Structure 1
């Protein structure tokens, strides 16, 4: 029996890197999909030192075909995807009177649309017990007007998670958005590692306790 596999989409030095490490510590092999080769290059040896076999690809996840192909390669290589974690979002410091429609749609393509792409690509390699998780944010409910597109992304991706969960539940696959109700920091309750712990706990809950949103309040 092969080890369980997590695919981390939007792999970076923050929450997504902490998620990769948390699951590696629990015996998962890890596939990293990110936009920055240097960041991925830093994560790989750390994960390998924790006992994980690591695959990685550098790709713009808004490039639908490239993202689909990368996820499929992971799935074909491992034969399974047990957890798909989605982390990307765009932070654009523009209020609603200065944000253009083109900019808004560009940001939504990253923070929401790319989840559709990778979930559809991963589905053939997921079976009952599989999980999709998303790093959510309190910006979905209480947006900062200075970065208006972020709240739209987080509200949209949470809504999409609810739909994915309803669609996949009959096959025993569930989806969850972990809403971080605090500001990420280097210390305290909202460090990336603490948020990663919350994501791991949400993903590994018993199916009988499942909800498609979990709030992390620290």
Structure 2
């Protein structure tokens, strides 16, 4: 049998890089979609050192056509998609009195809408047992007014993941949003590696007890 494959949308340093390495250590090949070549190249070297087959595509995932093409290319190149991980969000320090409608829509396109592009392109490469995971945030429930669009993104992302799970569960494909209830840090319970471990665990839940939202509180 071929090795399982994870495709990470919004790949780069931080949580997404830790997710890539965690799955690579578990025997997965890895596809990366990100906006900058240099961090994708550096991460690819790390993953290859762990024994993973790696493909990466530079794409602006807010461009529906480009996002779909990138995910489809990786699914075809790597032969399958067993896990689709969605990581991106936009942090824009604007409160509701200064945030404009175009800015809000741009941020939601990145942090929520791009998942639709990625999912619909990935679906032909997924079979029963495949999983969709997403990096959620406590901002969905406790938004900070100073970055108002972030809470909207994370609430929308969780809602969309719940709908994806309901739509695909009869096909044996499940989706989960991991709600990170803390602030990312270089040490302690909320390091990128610890969050990545929580995402890995959520993707490997027993389907009989599946939860489409899993909180991570450290």
- State TM-score, norm by structure 2: 0.99
CA contact (8 A) 2:133 2:177 kept: yes
In structure 2, the residue matched to 1:173 is: 173
Aligned pair 1:123/2:131, yes or no?
Answer: no
SS at match of 1:2: coil
SS at match of 1:215: strand
**1:24-173 alignment, distance < 5 Å:** 24-173=24-173
Deviation by residue 1:86-108 (Cα, 9 ceiling, x = unmatched): 00000000000000000000000
Q: How far did residue 78 of structure 1 move?
A: 2.2
CA contact (8 A) 2:31 2:78 kept: no
Q: How many residues align?
A: 218
Deviation by residue 1:30-70 (Cα, 9 ceiling, x = unmatched): 00000111111110110000000000001000011011011
SS at match of 2:118: helix
- State TM-score, norm by structure 1: 0.99
CA distance in 1 between counterparts of 2:38 and 2:45 reads 12
In structure 2, the residue matched to 1:13 is: 13
CA distance in 2 between counterparts of 1:190 and 1:74 reads 30
- Computed over aligned residues only, the root mean square deviation of the Cα atoms, in angstroms, reads 0.5
Q: How far did residue 74 of structure 1 move?
A: 1.1
CA distance in 2 between counterparts of 1:36 and 1:135 reads 20
SS at match of 2:93: coil
CA distance in 2 between counterparts of 1:11 and 1:71 reads 12
Deviation by residue 1:123-149 (Cα, 9 ceiling, x = unmatched): 011000000000000000000000000
Question: Which portions of structure 1, spanning 4 or more consecutive aligned residues, are displaced by more than 3 angstroms?
Answer: none
